[in-house]
Amino acid sequence: MQAEVNENIVVFFGNQYVPLAEARVSILTHALNYGTGVFDGVRGYWDEKQHELFLVRPEDHFVRWKTNCGILRLDVPLTAAELSEVTAELIRRNRFRTNVYVRPLAYKAAQRIGVIPDDRDAFAVMVVPFGDYLDSREGLHAGVVSWRRLEDNAIPGRAKICGAYVNSALASDEARRNGFDEAIFLNESGHVAEGATCNIFLVKNGKLVTPPGTENILEGITRDCVMELARRELNMEVTERPVDRSELYVCDEVFFTGTAVEVAPVVEVDHRPVKSGVIGPVARQLRRLYYEATRGYLAHYQHWLMRVYHPAIVGKAA
Ligand code: PMP
């Protein structure tokens, strides 16, 4: 659990840089009452040796966010490049020299009763100091929950729609109360979809498998990074296909990916050890590669990163 945020940090709200304490919305706000917002999540990593803070694929996150805002007909008037620059400026103004999490949030802002949304849209960008989301150093215990992943025809899971996260909150709550670290969702067709806040991969016979975008998952940017790292650095075949629940019990490795969880190995599913119940070699290597790539240590992945404090150093491996 992360600590409560200091009210003096500067956020971008109403097109201005203001202290968090001044970024207030009305209790009648449409999005608060009906869940009509879309958010995203971006990580920034501070590297002490280089005295640099690296934002991980900020433009890709902002493009996804703006595109998904379109599902709710929410308009964000800045470009992805401008939003990345706002984010870097927030980090500089707050003088953050630590790992951070960026939360862009667009929402229906009308103050009235009635579910029909209109065009009164607003958005904000917040950056907060952020440590580990889950402690996965020894591997996680995950459990399939009784809640099903929401259907595309009800609330599209491919967008980070605020109201849709009731589904993830219910799943996380059930998993934690049942003694697991993280939930695994099945979808209505009974296939494995994803975790409550992360994508899922399994390894079988040296091949990587993950559910495709049509299985009611959020197509994660970390998922995309990991597929590229597996193909390019580990020479692995990666297949996107429907996954049965029992495949999780008989495979060689399971791990989650996500901006918050990063690459998180799973050593037990539904009280069954994954293989021998310890972190496997593929998850271990991908976790290390992802760590190095997101701190600027791998030359080939520099284009994933935006340097906040020394933007002039472009594409130079540390
Ligand atoms: N699935 C869900 C439901 C999520 O909330 C997240 C977190 N954004 C992910 C997957 C992982 O996506 P990403 O790697 O882009 O953070």
Q: Going by C-beta distance under 8 Å and a sequence separation of 6 or more, which residues neighbour residue 103?
A: 39, 40, 41, 125, 126, 127, 128
| 113 CA to centre of ligand 1 in angstroms | 31
Residue with CA nearest ligand 1 atom 12: 220
Q: What is the pLDDT of residue 316?
A: 46
Q: Which residues line ligand 1 (CB under 6 A)?
A: 41, 168, 194, 197-199, 218, 220-223, 257-259
The CB density around residue 120, as the number of other CB atoms within 10 Å, is 13
Which domains are delineated in the chain?
10-129 (3.30.470.10), 140-294 (3.20.10.10)
The CB density around residue 155, as the number of other CB atoms within 10 Å, is 17
Taking alpha carbons only, the member of 97, 134, 103 closest to residue 2 is 134
CB 290 within 8 A of CB 258: no
Q: What is the pLDDT of residue 1?
A: 67
Catalytic residue among 49, 160, 204, 316: 160
182-204 in b/e form (b: 16+ CB < 10 A) is bbbbbbeeebbbbbbbbbbbbbe
Q: Going by C-beta distance under 8 Å and a sequence separation of 6 or more, which residues neighbour residue 56?
A: 42, 43, 44, 45, 221, 259, 294, 304, 305
Query: Ligand 1: which atom is nearest the Cα of residue 61?
Result: 15
Pull the structure tokens for residue 75.
Answer: 């308009």
SS3 call for 176: helix
Q: How many CA atoms are closer than 13 Å to the CA of 26, on its beta-carbon side? A: 10
pLDDT tens over the chain, length 318 residues = 667 788 899 999 999 999 999 999 999 999 999 999 999 999 999 999 999 999 999 999 999 999 999 999 999 999 999 999 999 999 999 999 999 999 999 999 999 999 999 889 999 999 999 988 888 889 999 999 999 999 999 999 999 999 999 999 999 999 999 999 999 999 999 999 999 999 999 999 999 999 999 999 999 999 999 999 999 999 999 999 999 999 999 999 999 999 999 999 999 999 999 999 999 999 999 999 999 999 999 999 999 999 999 887 655 444
The yes-or-no answer on residue 160 being catalytic is yes
